[in-house]
Amino acid sequence: MIKCLKLILFLCFITTYNSQTTNNNSPQELFIQSIRNTGGHKTIPLGKTIYQGVFTGNGLLGTMTYLKDASSCKITIGRTDVYDHRNGEENLFERPRLPLGYFEVKLLDNITDAVGKIDLYNAESSAELKTNSGNIRIKAITFSEEDYILLQVDDQNYKNKYEIIWVPEKSESPRRNFSYAKQPENYLPNPTARITNHNSIITSYQPMLAGGGYSVAYTERKLNNLKYILIATDYQINNNEAERNAGKRLATFEWDRLSSKIKNHQSWWHQYYTKSSFNIPDQELQDFYNYQLYKLASATRSNKPAIDLQGPWTDKTPWPGYWYNLNMQLTYSPLYTANHLELAESLVKAIDRNYNSLIKNVPKEYQYNSIALGRSGGPDMYAPVKVIKGSNESVTNSEAETGNLTWLLYYYYQHYDFTQDETLGNKVFDLLKKSINYYLHLLGKNKEGKYQLEAKTYSPEYSKGYAFNTNYDLSILRWGLKTLLEMDSKKGRKDKLNSQWQDILQNLIPFPANEGGYMIAQDVPYSESHRHYSHLLMIYPFYEINWDQTENHNLIEKSINTWQSKPEALQGYSLTGQASMKAMMGRGNESRDIMKTFIQKFVKPNTLYAESGPVIETPLAGMQSIQELYLQYWNGITRVFPAVPEDWKDISFKNLRTSGAFLISAVRKNGKNTEVSIYSEKGGQIKIKPNFEGLFTTSGSGNLIQQNNSVYVYEVPKGKTLTLKAN
């Protein structure tokens, strides 16, 4: 009888579970369930590197928990705005990101097993350390809307002694640990941190040679047989108040409201996950996508710093700053389609805030009307470009990367295009105009009367990339000119440079190419392995050369194949870029397989990524590559399920954002698109390719303006939804 009852209960559980995982659930319910499952079922064996740890973050603060040695673990504390601010030209030494330190949990026993878990839905990490004397559990929460970190230590099952100590990191550029990085003369680390204890609040204060300093303060409390460590930080550039401020914040913490604070923290994250949904029938890719979504909101917020190469998680790295020739672009790339513009605002605000630095970055003779951005730097975006037309002065490769800012403005422009916020539009038009002005200073005409760059620039990452007319610059220049003209036309007025932009666009030299496809530059063929797709930006992400152009199919294929034919230097983002290009071509099977290879070959156990040190951009670019299987926008057309792998029969998404401030939702069943929903935030026309196999009906609000084969133009009123359903 008991066995029978158990069997009935088991079958009831299975039936209930299966009913919850079928497509009878809404796309949003399925997605939230996948978030819960990703965090609830996936454990990470903790190791001795940041790539084998579990993490939390709120855009300013973050934790990373992993093993330190055989009998201890560490919980590193990161703060994204703590940068040195010395004077000098060596950005990565005088103005690098600085580490804070870590808490070490030292046991008297050796650790026999250690596992970690990240609860994505509730945004907390946990680590369990197993020993012969019992187990210790450590939970970490970085409060979403308050800048506190809470560690919860459950030691009730541990029968031996242990201690938790704070270890401040040496306050110097992490780049000093790498011998290949040129070391500046007479570089000194900041002074040693000083640690004080006042009223049970311990403060670690780090003074800085350039003035100001930063602090980490913490206090312990016992509640319900659990040990809690509450942590606050502060950072001041112009005064020494950081030493007191962090402690003051701890003294005012409302411990009696701890439960409600945790609930508020969880509610923020629950709401965050409802902004869009994305359901993938491949568990590996779904888990990966979910982790990137969690990582993005851990790494930035609207009112927090822009994401650098590390996010809130610091480690020894040669890359302690921002990189502007691919990394920052890839980092922000998935946020627009994912409908998380509130996170992408940190990029917009960083560019706006540092406008004066962008002016200083160009040579003095061009500063009256131009802006630019070199290879790398700190949060002030000071990174000079020194290319001057007609000059014989030698410049470094990093100082010759002329197109970085314009490429970064592509994402600022997306923010405008996907919201139709005219205030943003006016800003990006002015910024883009000034970044293109720099190019105008460098242009001249060749013997055929075609415009070309008459100064050498640098195509990122290629050893022979310092050359005339790089495809990197020509692609960026063409996108900038086209966008200015489109925006100027939409404004209904004619900028005084409009005719010049048109003339240059119509008479610019073609992209250099040979029998292998697109070259690096005018006289530089692709002859060595190249991880960056800087020479292929016209294909992706600008789509200037695209799959709608049947005459360019062979050229696109040759260019991609030639790039991938030399694998020695290829890295993770070489695969994410290739996957995106294959998705544009409608080759979902290939794109999916490339992404799975990328995850298995390059992605670390906790989905971090490394190239000599932790760098954040590549997995986030992978998130966008996955999005492009479901929704693409290029050549003026929004494309629904344009590159779905053949065996993905039942899939859905909700509220993915596209050009024109439209939110798209769609369902695909039995390998066929069955429903597409178009919500218009601002009102206007959308050109859409719904990819139905046969006839369909419409309901809701909207009028068909034009039809051309499988592409439809609809006018959808502001605040209304138009739904298309297959017959």
pLDDT digits (tens, 9 = 90+) for 129-142: 999 999 999 999 99
Provide the token pair at 346: 């940190």
3-class DSSP state of 673:
strand
What is the model's pLDDT at position 115? 98
Is the pLDDT confidence value at 49 over 50?
A: yes
Q: Tell me which residue of 656, 574, 39, 588 sits closest to 281, measured CA to CA.
A: 588
Is the pLDDT confidence value at 15 over 70?
A: no
The mean per-residue pLDDT over the stretch 161-190 comes to 92
What is the model's pLDDT at position 19? 33
Is the pLDDT confidence value at 23 over 60?
A: no
pLDDT in tens, 650-673: 999 999 999 999 999 999 999 999
What is the model's pLDDT at position 12? 39
**Eight-state DSSP code of residue 202:** E
Least confident of 174-178, 537-541, 590-594, 616-620: 174-178
By the 8 A CB rule, do 705 and 688 touch? no
What is the model's pLDDT at position 4? 42
Phi and psi torsions of 673, nearest 5°? -70, 125
Q: Tell me which residue of 2, 55, 21 sits closest to 604, measured CA to CA.
A: 55
What whole-number distance in Å separates Cα of residue 714 and Cα of residue 391?
52
pLDDT in tens, 69-114: 999 999 999 999 999 999 988 899 999 999 999 999 999 999 999 9
Which residues lie below 8 Å from residue 240, measured CB to CB, with a gap of 6+?
Answer: 207, 212, 213
Instruction: Please give the full DSSP string across 62-94, using - where no structure is assigned.
Output: EEEEEEEETTEEEEEEEETT-B---SSS-HHHH
Q: What is the mean pLDDT of the chain?
A: 95
By the 8 A CB rule, do 639 and 632 touch? yes
3-class DSSP state of 672:
strand
Residue 695's pLDDT band, with cuts at 50, 70 and 90, is very high
Provide the token pair at 54: 């579990």
Burial class (CB in 10 A: 0-12, 13-18, 19+), 552: middle
The mean per-residue pLDDT over the stretch 610-633 comes to 97
Residue 21's pLDDT band, with cuts at 50, 70 and 90, is very low
Phi and psi torsions of 605, nearest 5°? -55, -35
Which residues lie below 8 Å from residue 572, measured CB to CB, with a gap of 6+?
Answer: 598, 601, 602, 603, 609, 611, 618, 619, 622
Residue 13's pLDDT band, with cuts at 50, 70 and 90, is very low
Query: Any idea which residue has 């800048």 for tokens?
Result: 147
Is the pLDDT confidence value at 8 over 60?
A: no
The mean per-residue pLDDT over the stretch 182-195 comes to 92
The mean per-residue pLDDT over the stretch 362-372 comes to 98
Q: Tell me which residue of 378, 401, 301, 394 sits closest to 347, measured CA to CA.
A: 301
Is the pLDDT confidence value at 22 over 70?
A: no
Q: Of 6 and 294, which is predicted with more confidence? A: 294
pLDDT in tens, 447-495: 999 999 999 999 999 999 999 999 999 999 999 999 999 999 988 878 9
